[in-house]
Amino acid sequence: MPLQSFFIPYTFGRQDFQFFPPELAELQERELAVHKRLNGIPATAREPQGPEDTPEKLEEERLAAQEFIDTGMSCASTYICG
């Protein structure tokens, strides 16, 4: 089993009163996407919340999330590569 499969991204419990910089949420999303890609975890469609959530819209969101997972770059490689 490759060493990368043991990598689990650490996430901060962000609360809206804690004033974390907005970049922290983006960094956490990127690290989670890399974790999913390395471990073969696909994006899943969310549950419909109302009549405006058509199956086509949900599939479009899922494909966008999968694209983010497939092309995401980890924060460490961003700092190493430039």
Walk me through the domains of the chain, giving residue ranges and CATH numbers: 3-7+19-81 (1.10.1040)
Q: State pTM to two decimals.
A: 0.67
pLDDT one-digit tens code per residue, 1-31: 454 555 566 666 666 666 778 788 888 888 8
CA nearest neighbour of 59 among 73, 72, 42, 40: 42
Residues 6+ apart with CB under 8 A from 78: none
